A and B are shown apart, each in its own frame.
Chain A
Amino acid sequence: MSLGWSSAWDGHDRAPLRIGIAVIAGLELLVECLQVGWQSRDPARFPPTGTLSEWLGAIPGAALGIEAMILVGLVALARDRRPVIAGLWVLLWGALLSEWQTQIFASPSRNAFFPGAAMLGWVLGQAWAHETADLRDEAAPRALREQLGEAGAVACIAAAYLGSCLSKLGAAGLGWADGDQIRALVLWQQPLASWEWLAAYREGILRVPALARAASFATLVIEGGALLLLFGPRLRLAWATLLVGLHLNIILLCTMPYLEPMALLGLLAVPWPRLLRRPAKVSADEESPPSLDGVRMPPAMALWLGGIVLLAWILAPWGWRASP
C-alpha cells in the first residue's frame, strides 16, 4: 500500500477520465438547467429574490442558453481542446446557473458542486502542468497535463468531504455525533417506507440511540478520512468504497441521492485500466518529462491558487451560508 501519490491510471491514456468528468458535469448541469428553467416559470412558488434571478427569469430560454454555453465548454474539455479555458468557461456559466438557482430556490444545489469541484481540480492540474513546462519553454505533454489534472480532481473531491466534516465539527462540535441530526433527517425526509425491511431499518435508527450515534460517528470518520483519497490506488479505492457506502446509507435513510459524487468516486478511484486489462501505452517520460524534473510549485501556479483564495475572500459577502 503506497503512502505517496500514485494512480491506477499511471502509464495509461486518461481520456476516459477527461470524458467522464465532462459527461457527469454535463448531465448534472443539464438537470439543474431544466429545474431552474421550470422553477423560474412559477414565480409564485419560486420567487426571484435578486436582480440576477429577476433579469434571467425575464429572458425566454435563458436556462437553456446557459446549458448551451456549458455544453460548448464541456465538448472542448472532453476533446482536450484548450482544456484550461474550456474548464474555466464551464465553471463561469455553472456559477451563473448556481447563483440563479440559489436566488429562486433559497439554497444552492450541492449536487452540482461535486462535478464543479472535480472540474476545478482538473483545470488547476492542467494549469500546473502548463506553468511547469513554460519554465523550460516547452509545451506540456498531454500525459503530464492529465496526470496532474487527475491529482487536482481527486484533491477537490477529497476537499469536499473533508470540508463537510469540518463544517459539522465547526457548527456542532463532537456533539454532532450524538445521533440526533441523523434521526432528525430521517424524520424530516422519509420516516415511512413501503418495504418492511427498510421501514425496520429507519425505525431502528429512530428508536435505538446507539445505532444513530454509530451512524453519525461513522459519517464524521468517513468524511474526515477522505484525505486518504490522496494516497495510493488501493487506499483510494478502499476509502471511495466507504464514501459510496455512506451515500447509499443516506439514500436508504433519507432518500437523498447524491449520484454525482458517487459517479465521480467510481470514475476516479476504481482501477479501470486494470479491470479492463488495458495495456500501458504511456511512457513514464511522457508523464514526467526528465527535462521538467523538480516538483516545486511554479510561481504562476502560486498566483493561480492565491488568486482563487483572494477571489473567495472578495466574494465572501455574496457566498451563500447554511444556518448553523
Chain B
Amino acid sequence: MLPEGHPRRFDRPRAVAWAVLLSYLVAARLVGNLFPLSTFDMYQGHAPPVATRVLVLDATGTAAQVDDYEGYACEGPPLSMALIEQRCGEHDRPLDYVLRDQALHIEAHAGEPTEPGTEPITLVARAHRLQPGPDQGRHADCVVARCTARRRGGRR
C-alpha cells in the first residue's frame, strides 16, 4: 500500500533490493565461494550410489552412534579415511568431516579396556545402497576396528 502524495516512495528500496540481489547472484556464480559471496553449493550434486557412515555395533549387533560411547580402546591404527579405504575399499567412503569428527571423539574419549562398564564393540562402515535395484535400501557393514568402550549416560 503506497501512501498518498508519495506514489514512488517505495520504488527506491525495491530498486536497491533487485540490483543487489542480481549483483550478488552474478558475483557468486563467478567466484564460487569467497566470503561473503557464495553459491551455497553444499550437497548440490546428485547423490552417489552408496552412502556410508561409521557406526558402533555392540555385542548384540545393535547399532549406535560413535558419540554414544566413551572410554574407547581400539586395536590397530586410529580411525581414518586411509584405514577405511584399506579395510573396506575406496568406494564406500564416508563424508570427510563427519569421519574426522568421529575420530576426534574417539581420541578425546580414549580409555582402558579394564575400566568398569566397558564392553566389546565393533566400529563398522555401514554402506547403504541408494540406487534402484535389488540391493536398494539394504546396507552392508564392513568391520573397521574392534574396540572396547562404555555407553555414555545410558543413552541408546
Contacts and interface: CB of A to CB of B under 8 A. Distances in A.
Interface string B87-131: 000000011111010011000000000000000000000101011
A197 interface: no
Contacts of B12: 132, 147-148, 288, 295
B17 A152 contact: yes
Contacts of B26: 309, 312
Nearest to B104: A45
A51 interface: no
A317 B105 CA distance: 35
Contacts of A4: 2, 10-11, 14
B53 A295 contact: no
Nearest to A181: B47
Contact of A94 (B19, B25, B35): B35
B9 A320 contact: no
Interface residues of B, number: 66
Interface residues of A, number: 93
Contacts of B131: 180
Interface stretch (A54-62, A75-83, A183-191): A183-191
Interface of A: 2, 4-7, 10, 45, 91, 94-95, 97-99, 102, 105-108, 110, 112-113, 116-117, 119-121, 124-125, 128, 132, 147-148, 150-152, 154-156, 158-164, 166-168, 170-172, 175-176, 178, 180-181, 183-185, 187-192, 194, 206-207, 227, 230, 284, 287-288, 293, 295-297, 301, 305, 308-309, 311-313, 315-316, 318-324
